[in-house]
Amino acid sequence: MNRAHFIAKGFLGMLGLLLSAAVWAHGGAAGTDTDQCKFELEPSHWIHYTAYQPKSYPAEEFCGKLPGAATPTQLVFDYQDMRYRNMSVEFEVTKEPEGTRVFFLPASKHKSGTVNLDLPNGVPEAGKYLIHITLVPDQGDRLDAHMSFTAGTGAPTSTSSYVLYILFAFAGVYGLYLSNAAFKNKVDGLLGKKTSA
């Protein structure tokens, strides 16, 4: 096996490890059984939730712990059940335990299946908050679901962006190795010296 083939196999192995690490950083699997960022509105009917603080942590996703308080925050909800796209849904965020409302989106239909709540100033202070999602049917009772989160915990909880940075660095070096003869010869020379030593 020549050195280039050895390097290519090594790179593909590292790529596989990094991608699997990125998947596990997001909870391991995409199914609702392992997804901690979700609301069960009705038995076996879910809405997925992801929080972002793009100004302070541009490459991070959050769930139950947001690192910043008074920083722009986006709460994104994705319907995992098509039938909610034809139902009116209301969103509210309250500071707990006081129950003080810090955000409210009146009931409306979201045909795209994604709802983006933009809190330009974030939440007012560090502490515990509650997200209320309420189905407002044309007939029958309202259905309310809740999910709590804390803000102002100080540090991002996701490490997936670092894994992606490493992945891109490896891809860049490997691309340079394949496309630049001088760099390839230098790497091959270094590897040759190490294998002959």
> Over 50: is that where the pLDDT of 34 sits?
no
129 shares its domain with 41: yes
> Over 70: is that where the pLDDT of 155 sits?
no
Q: Which helix (H) or strand (E) holds 30?
A: none
Q: Write out the two tokens for 70.
A: 């008074």
Q: Report which of 54, 196, 68, 77 is spatially closest to residue 145, judged by C-alpha positions.
A: 77
Helices 3-25 and 160-179 sit at what angle, rounded to 10 degrees? Answer: 160
37 shares its domain with 129: yes
Instruction: Count up the domains in the chain and report the number.
Output: 2
120 shares its domain with 171: no
85 shares its domain with 42: yes
53 shares its domain with 16: no
25: helix, strand or coil: helix
103 shares its domain with 167: no
185 shares its domain with 99: no
Q: What residue numbers bound the domain in which 93 lies?
A: 30-157
pLDDT, tens only, 41-94: 788 788 899 999 999 898 899 988 999 999 999 999 998 788 888 889 999 999
149, 151, 157, 161: CA torsion to nearest 10: 110
> Over 60: is that where the pLDDT of 27 sits?
no
> Over 50: is that where the pLDDT of 99 sits?
yes
Put simply, whether the predicted model's pTM sits higher than 0.85 gets the answer no
91 shares its domain with 168: no
45 shares its domain with 13: no
Mean pLDDT of the chain: 77
Q: Which residues pair with 132 in a beta bridge?
A: 92, 146
CATH of the domain at 66: 2.60.40.2550
Helix, strand, coil percent content, the chain, rounded in steps of 5: 30, 35, 30
61 shares its domain with 124: yes
pLDDT, tens only, 159-193: 555 555 666 667 777 777 778 888 788 878 877 76
Q: Report which of 119, 127, 135 is spatially closest to residue 47, judged by C-alpha positions.
A: 135
188 shares its domain with 124: no
13 shares its domain with 50: no
